[in-house]
Amino acid sequence: MAATIKDVARACGVHVSTVSRTFSAPHLVNPATRSRVLAAADDLGYRPNRAARALTTGRTYNMGLIVADIANPFFPPLIKAAQAQARGRDYHVFVADTDEDPRVEEELIRTLTKQVDGVLLCSPRLSNRMIERLAEDVPFVVVNRRIKGMPAVLMNVAQGAKLALDHLAGLGHRKIALVSGPIGSWTSNEMQGVAAETPGLDLVFFGPNQPTETGGLAVAADVAACGATAVLAYNDLVALGLIEGLAAMEIGVPDQISVVGFDDILPGRLNRPKLTTVAMPAVAAGRMAVDLLLQSGGEGATVTLDTALIVRESTGRAQK
C-alpha cells in the first residue's frame, strides 16, 4: 500500500499540515524540519498527489516561461535559473519559444492560460496593450519590458548602453552606429534613448534588424559605408554577425572599426576578436522573475538589475 501524508507525519513527528507545507510552500518550513520531512518521504516512497492538491487549492503548481528565441544563447541560462528556482518552490515550468513572432506569442499564452498559475514573458514582441489584455486571464511577470501596473524584472539596458557609449567616447570615437533589434523591442528603445541623450556623438541609426547573426551580416555593408568608427549592437549575435560581415569586406575589428554587443553570451567570449559587451544578468533575472510571480500573483512590483561593461578585444582607439 502506498505511503500517505499521515505516514510521513508520523515517521518524522510533525503535524500533517507541516508535511503538506513542505511540498506546497517549502520556503515557509524551517530548513531542518523540511529536510527531516523530505528524508522521511523519500524513505517511505511518498509522492504528493499534484492533481488532488490542485483540486483543493485551485492551483496547478505549473508556470509558463515564454522566450523570444530559445536558439539565442542568452536565454538558456535564464531558463535553467527559473526552472531551478521554481523547483525549489515545488513548481514545474513549461518552456515555449515564439521564434520572434508576436502571433505565435499570443497563441502560446492563450494555450497556456488554463494550464498554469502564471506566465513569465521574456523579451516579448507583443504590444503593451495586447499583453495587458492577456494578463486579465492569467498573472504575468514580464522580463525586459516596462508595462504600467504589471510586475517586471528589468535588466538595466540604459545603464549598460551609457557604459558602452562612454567607453567608446573615451577611445576617441565620435561617429557611432547604433544597430537596433526587432520592431517594438524595449531594449532597442532604451539603447536609442540613452544614445540620443549622450552629448558630443554623431549617431547613425540602423533598424529594425533581425536579432541574429543574419541581422548583423545584413547590415554590415551599410555600417561600413556610413563612416562610423564604432558600433553598438542590439545584442551579441548581431555584433558577431556584423564582425563577420566586416571581415568579408576586409575591414578589421577593432583596427578600423570597434564593435560592442549586449548580453555576454559564450560565443562572444570564444570569438576572435573576443567581443566587448554589456553583461546582462540573465541568471538573476530568471530567479527573480519566479519569485516575483509567486510573491505578487501578478500585482505591481518592478525589480531592476544592474548591467556591467566587459571590455575585451573588439574595441580600440579611433583611427585619426
Q: What CATH number belongs to 157-280?
A: 3.40.50.2300
| pLDDT tens track for 73-121 | 999 999 999 999 999 888 999 999 999 999 999 999 999 988 899 999 9
3-state secondary structure 25-45: CHHHCCHHHHHHHHHHHHHHC
Are residues 149 and 160 in contact, defined by beta-carbon separation less than 8 angstroms?
Answer: no
All CATH 1.10.260.40 domain ranges of the chain, comma separated, are 5-48
H runs (alpha helix) in the chain: 5-12, 16-24, 31-44, 50-57, 75-88, 102-112, 128-134, 157-170, 186-197, 213-225, 236-248, 266-270, 282-296
Quick check: 249 pLDDT over 50? yes
- Cell (9 digits) for 319: 583611427
Lowest-confidence range among 34-48, 147-161, 194-208? 34-48
For the stretch 273-305, pLDDT in tens is 999 999 999 999 999 999 999 986 556 789 999
Q: Where in the chain is the domain with CATH 3.40.50.2300?
A: 61-155+282-306, 157-280
Please tell me the pTM assigned to this model: 0.83
Q: How confident is the model at residue 55 (pLDDT cuts 50, 70, 90)?
A: very low
**Whether pLDDT at 315 is above 50:** yes
Coil vs helix vs strand at 203: strand
Return mean pLDDT, the chain: 92
pLDDT (tens digit per residue) in 251-262 = 999 999 999 999
Give the H or E element holding residue 233. strand 230-233
- Helices and strands, counts by H and E, the chain: 13, 12
Summarised one tens digit per residue, pLDDT across range 161-206 is: 999 999 999 999 999 999 999 998 999 999 999 999 999 999 999 9
As assigned by CATH, the class of the 5-48 domain is mainly alpha
Region 122-135 average pLDDT: 94
pLDDT of residue 23: 80
- Dist CA 215 CA 237 (whole Å): 8
Q: pLDDT tens-digit profile of 117-128?
A: 999 999 999 999
Q: Give pLDDT, residue 110.
A: 94
- The answer to whether the bond into 102 is cis (omega within 30° of 0) is no
Alpha carbons within 13 angstroms on the beta-carbon side of residue 313 total 11
CA angle, 125 then 128 then 300, to 5°: 115
Compute how many other C-beta atoms are within 10 angstroms of the C-beta atom of residue 106.
18
Is CATH 3.40.190.80 the right assignment for the domain spanning 61-155+282-306?
A: no
For residue 251, how far is the Cα from the chain centroid?
A: 32
Q: What is the pLDDT of residue 21?
A: 84
> What gap in Å lies between CA 141 and CA 147, rounded to an integer?
10
pLDDT greater than 80 at residue 53: no
